[in-house]
Homo-oligomer: A and B are copies of this chain.
């Protein structure tokens, strides 16, 4: 819990009362490796902040193929935004790749929290705008860079993720086959 409050203070300043209001509107929860925070078809009821662990968000297409949309690590937010804001069935699955500890804010608490601690609006605005900017950057990169360049950039930007998830998932994230990723990795060594 305190981890989360500390993290918030990087973005906004909270009085003691505000901090305790925040605390009373959030819940801590532990997931096991392999468990799902959100399953496609369910409604995404929480915005989820990762305290420790790692997640993958993926889409399962009609042929049964998984496409990794994004990973999530310590201090990141996770959730199917579309499902959360409309409280409609989620398209994405969010699965824990390690035992994962999270803080969650429920849909039915979040408006209440905004009302009582308006600074939280500011906080979420900042978070969401940076998430938005990142997806845009990613789309551009997918058009303008080849797989090798995308992989190396990924390694630079998220060395923690590269260490911790299987390569076939990174391949899926980059939009290539695991075999081709293996080739790319090999080229770089020599």
Q: Looking across the interface, which residue of chain B has its beta carbon closest to that of A66? A: B32
Q: Which of A70-105 contact B (CB under 8 A)?
A: 93
The SS class assigned to the A binding surface is: strand
State the oligomeric state as a number of copies.
Answer: 2
Chain B CB within 8 A of A29 CB: yes
Chain B CB within 8 A of A31 CB: yes
Chain B CB within 8 A of A41 CB: yes
Which listed residue, B29, B32, B39, touches A31 by the CB 8 Å rule? B39
Beta-carbon contact of B31 and A34 below 8 Å = no
Q: Looking across the interface, which residue of chain B has its beta carbon closest to that of A29? A: B41
Give chain B residues whose Cβ lies under 8 Å from the Cβ of A30.
41
Give chain B residues whose Cβ lies under 8 Å from the Cβ of A29.
41
Give chain B residues whose Cβ lies under 8 Å from the Cβ of A41.
29-30
Q: Which of A15-43 contact B (CB under 8 A)?
A: 29-32, 34-36, 39, 41
Q: Looking across the interface, which residue of chain B has its beta carbon closest to that of A41? A: B29
Give chain B residues whose Cβ lies under 8 Å from the Cβ of A36.
35-36, 39
Chain B CB within 8 A of A60 CB: yes
Beta-carbon contact of B32 and A60 below 8 Å = yes
Which listed residue, B32, B39, B60, B93, touches A93 by the CB 8 Å rule? B32
- 11 interchain pairs, CB-CB under 8 A: A29-B41, A30-B41, A31-B39, A32-B60, A32-B93, A34-B34, A35-B36, A35-B39, A35-B93, A36-B36, A36-B39
Task: Report which A residues bind B (CB closer than 8 A).
Answer: 29-32, 34-36, 39, 41, 60, 93
